[in-house]
Structure 1
Amino acid sequence: MKKLAEIAHSRAGDKGNILVLSLIPFDPSDFEMLVNKVTAESVKEHLKNQVKGTVTRYVLPDLKAMQFTCTDALAGGVTTSLSLDAHGKSLSYALLEMEI
């Protein structure tokens, strides 16, 4: 098993209580393997303690990337949360800890 951090990088954005995570392989030849192994369900399971809502996956084959939109993911949002770090970027690192 490998951690995603060994083969991909991630970017994140947040708006209110919605988190958007991208997953981009370092080597484009790993893209199909990531599409097969990193599903909306597996991301939801991996981030189950943070993401309380749905996870929707968008596959972007021309970019060799995927995007995950996660609802109810930021404890109410950056400006309303009592969490120390409710920003989405911290969850992009959590995604990269996922083992496949």
Structure 2
Amino acid sequence: MVLMTTVILADYAHARAGDKGNILSIAVFPLDPAHYAWLRRELTAERVAAQFATRRPSRVQRYEVASLAALNFVLDDALEGGVNRSPGLDRHGKSLSYLLLSMRLPAPG
């Protein structure tokens, strides 16, 4: 039997979130640049979509920014209509980076 060890993303990366209308953007940066390859392998658009399933994004796209050793995720329709329409406390989505950082991923190998 093979046991897969998982880790919390926040122990290996930091993130910055932003918004434009009803679109959420979250950039993820490894704390150690040596973990960029691991992030590229494990932090997929599909996994991010699953993590944000309760926000019901209509699309999740991932962009690699190798010059910054970063991944940028763009989630369409994830902000309850955007800043002017959302009844949420954090209409800008700034704290949603913590939702991403709480993800569990297979440990770097």
User: TM-score normalised by the shorter chain: which range applies?
Assistant: over 0.9
Structure with the largest fraction of strand:
2
Unaligned runs of 5+ in 2: 1-5
Equivalent position of 2:27 in the other structure:
22
State how far apart, in whole Å, the 2-side matches of 1:82 and 1:62 are.
37
**Structure 1 moving runs of 4+ over 6 Å:** none
Shift of 1:9: 0.2
Question: Which protein is bigger by CA-based radius of gyration?
Answer: 2
Shift of 1:52: 2.4
Is the aligned partner of 1:50 residue 2:55? yes
Is the contact made by 1:7 and 1:26 (CA closer than 8 Å) also made in structure 2? yes
* Aligned-residue identity in percent: 46
Secondary structure at the aligned position of 1:66 is classed as: strand
Shift of 1:6: 0.3
State how far apart, in whole Å, the 2-side matches of 1:51 and 1:42 are.
13
Shift of 1:61: 1.2
Is the contact made by 1:51 and 1:74 (CA closer than 8 Å) also made in structure 2? no
> What is the root-mean-square deviation in Å for CA atoms of aligned residues?
0.9
Query: How many residues get paired?
Result: 100
